[in-house]
Amino acid sequence: MGTPVVLVHCLLTLLFVAVLLHGVALGVRSPRTGFGDRVDRLLAAAMALSMAAMPWIDVRAGPAAVAGGAFTAGAVWFLLPVRRREAGGTTATATTHRLPHAAGMAAMAWMLRVPPPGAGTAHAHPGPAVHPAGPGAPGAGVPLGGSAITLSLAFCLLSYALWSLTRPMPPLLSGVSPARRAAAAAPSRHVGEGAMALGTAVMLLLPH
């Protein structure tokens, strides 16, 4: 692994640790939340911690199947219909807001299942797919369908990251929705979620 990749991994680890600490701080400030909110925060904390450790620990050497199943269950949890409303929104908007979190959980489970780009054949899954540039080329051993899933998840996460990171910015127009004004008044949540989505997308595309 080259020095530039190590530097990126260091930056990503700092990002995920910052997101984890931010989530813990939110939990400390709001201890009396409902069961659903507590599960959401627990899953987000587990994902941030796992993502921070992934560049430095061979997670596939441990109980990857168990961890992958847990994150798959987390993705399903975020897809379940919710009855609680978010501030200034409806149940439908709350459900839509949870979709990127489900994508992040699915991305984590997917990274535990398939070899990362550039991993060579050391962790390659058995199958007929062979990279045309040779066994040591980036993406070798990953079927075309797997590459499509990786790119789709990365695209969804990058799109959400762009939306979430720009949401709290001061609006250029005077006529904006109450939700946009609320986001600008309290930007930490959107920035944290956008940073988490951005870091997850980068991890999907980088060797780890």
| pLDDT of 4 | 81
Kindly indicate the confidence band of residue 128, based on its pLDDT and cuts at 50, 70 and 90.
very low
**Which residues lie below 8 Å from residue 48, measured CB to CB, with a gap of 6+?**
16, 17, 19, 20, 23, 196
Is 39 exposed, middle or buried (CB count within 10 Å of its CB: 0-12, 13-18, 19+)? middle
| Distance, CA of 26 to CA of 107 (rounded, Å) | 24
| pLDDT of 142 | 47
| pLDDT of 183 | 58
Residue 113 has pLDDT above 70, yes or no: yes
Kindly indicate the confidence band of residue 117, based on its pLDDT and cuts at 50, 70 and 90.
low
pTM for the predicted model, two decimal places: 0.73
The per-residue pLDDT for range 24-47, each reduced to its tens digit, is 887 777 766 778 888 888 999 999
- Do 146 and 107 meet the contact criterion of CB atoms below 8 Å apart? no
Kindly indicate the confidence band of residue 163, based on its pLDDT and cuts at 50, 70 and 90.
confident
The per-residue pLDDT for range 59-110, each reduced to its tens digit, is 666 666 778 889 999 999 998 876 554 444 455 456 677 888 999 999 999 9
**Start-to-end CA span in the chain (Å):** 9
| pLDDT of 20 | 92
Residue 149 has pLDDT above 60, yes or no: yes
Mean pLDDT of 120-149: 49
Q: Three-class SS string for the chain?
A: CCHHHHHHHHHHHHHHHHHHHHHHHHHHHCCCCCHHHHHHHHHHHHHHHHHHHCCCCCHHHCCHHHHHHHHHHHHHHHHCCCCCCCCCCCHHHHHHHHHHHHHHHHHHHHHHHCCCCCCCCCCCCCCCCCCCCCCCCCCCCCCHHHHHHHHHHHHHHHHHHHHHHHCCCCCCCCCCCHHHHHHHHCCHHHHHHHHHHHHHHHHHHCCC
Mean pLDDT of 115-123: 50
Residue 154 has pLDDT above 90, yes or no: yes
Q: What percent of the chain has pLDDT over 90?
A: 27
Q: How confident is the prediction for the chain on average, in pLDDT?
A: 75
| pLDDT of 129 | 43
| pLDDT of 170 | 64
| pLDDT of 140 | 42
Please indicate whether residue 9 or residue 58 has the higher confidence score (pLDDT): 9
Is 13 exposed, middle or buried (CB count within 10 Å of its CB: 0-12, 13-18, 19+)? middle
